[in-house]
């Protein structure tokens, strides 16, 4: 048996049900025009009960908007962009705005193709994101006809940029370890060429003071193993806490300590950075780590790009959003409420 297609509810039907003109119904649904709140509410209730969905193209023509935002990234692995993208979508879905993601790798030609396509689609704005905060995407996004917000990537000095507060996250990790009574805290981290590495290491040194020791290496579990082998091969007291530059290094550290019969967290507390669930939750014991709150970073980027698209004034510069310590079993202590 064939099913007849459902008839689309038109704004004419909403107007008739609410007892107003089509023009009044349109203004009420778009929150424009002058009318009583009772009339505006009556129109919206009629639209809801009828299941009215406004035509996006017609709405865009009226408001001169496409109700789309593009996210441009060279983070093709998605480690940072996927949680950020989830936050962007959460911020925009209630505004009736769709988000589409364009992965450009590190290819300037591909990046330009995607930017041109976004502009052809008349997006309301672009959110640029990347793999690190101290590198720009391989495309010039200045002087575009739409606003651009930079999130977890380097932007021009006169742009609106969002990053996680690496130094604050590092301080929180070290202060938590000190609060547990740990005094010989070593920092094992990634390459010195990363701005986030130096920012976290600087905050670590400031918190630990005399005796602070930083070991630089790669973003890998293997480096975590190698760093532990180096430290345990030396004479003298061993650390009673290790703060790691990311969760992969921390997982390698935990495995290397366990292979040496070191109790975690009995003998040594371990804290990571990133709160990459696939790594942190699977570590044994589960890893205490710093969450960079990338989802909230995405939400804020979504709110700001819409504000700019609406003509609001947004102060340019770098905005640092707070990180959060996620306490699991690898460092000891009870999770905070």
pLDDT, one tens digit for every residue, the chain (337 residues):
444 445 677 778 888 999 988 778 877 887 777 889 999 999 989 988 888 776 554 454 345 567 889 999 999 888 899 999 999 999 888 777 889 899 998 899 999 999 999 998 889 999 999 999 999 999 999 999 999 999 999 999 999 999 999 999 999 999 999 999 999 999 999 999 999 999 999 999 999 999 899 999 999 999 999 999 999 999 999 999 999 999 999 999 999 999 999 999 999 999 999 999 889 999 999 999 999 999 999 999 999 998 998 889 999 999 999 999 999 999 987 654 4
Structure confidence at residue 256 (pLDDT): 98
CA distance 147 to 289: 34
What the block records as the tokens of 9 is 């509810």
Q: Enter the pTM of the model.
A: 0.79
Q: Minimal CA–CA distance to 27: which of 7, 50, 54, 8?
A: 54
CA 200 to chain centre: 18
Instruction: Give the pLDDT score at 3.
Output: 42
Nearest in space to 40 (alpha carbons), one of 55, 52, 24: 24
């Amino acid at each position: 048996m064939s099913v007849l297609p459902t008839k689309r509810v038109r704004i004419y039907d909403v107007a008739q049900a609410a007892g107003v003109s089509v023009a009044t119904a349109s203004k009420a649904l778009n929150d424009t025009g002058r009318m009583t709140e009772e009339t505006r509410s009556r129109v919206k209730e009629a639209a809801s009960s009828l299941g009215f969905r406004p035509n996006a193209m017609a709405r865009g023509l009226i408001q001169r908007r496409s109700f789309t935002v593009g996210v441009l990234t060279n983070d093709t692995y998605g480690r940072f962009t996927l949680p950020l993208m989830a936050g962007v979508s959460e911020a925009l879905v209630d505004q009736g705005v769709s988000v589409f993601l364009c992965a450009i790798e590190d290819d300037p030609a591909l990046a330009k193709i995607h930017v041109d396509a976004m502009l052809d689609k008349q997006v309301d704005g672009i959110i640029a994101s990347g793999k690190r905060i101290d590198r720009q995407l391989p495309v010039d996004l200045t002087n575009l006809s739409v606003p651009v917000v930079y999130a977890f990537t380097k932007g021009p000095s006169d742009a609106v940029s969002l990053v996680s507060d690496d130094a604050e996250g590092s301080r929180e990790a070290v202060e938590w370890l000190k609060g547990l009574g740990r005094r010989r805290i070593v920092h094992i981290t990634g390459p010195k060429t990363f701005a986030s590495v130096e920012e976290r290491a600087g905050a670590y040194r400031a918190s630990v003071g005399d005796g602070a020791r930083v070991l630089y290496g790669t973003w890998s579990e293997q480096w975590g193993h190698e760093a532990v082998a180096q430290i345990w091969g030396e004479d003298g007291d061993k650390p009673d806490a290790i703060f790691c530059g990311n969760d992969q290094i921390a997982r390698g550290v935990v495995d290397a300590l366990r292979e040496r019969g070191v109790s975690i967290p009995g003998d040594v507390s371990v804290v990571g950075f990133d709160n990459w669930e696939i790594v942190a939750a699977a570590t044994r014991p589960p890893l205490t780590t710093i969450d960079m709150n990338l989802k909230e970073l995405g939400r804020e980027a979504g709110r700001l790009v819409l504000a700019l698209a609406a003509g609001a004034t947004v102060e340019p510069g770098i905005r640092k959003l707070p990180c959060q310590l996620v306490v699991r079993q690898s460092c000891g202590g009870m999770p905070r409420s």
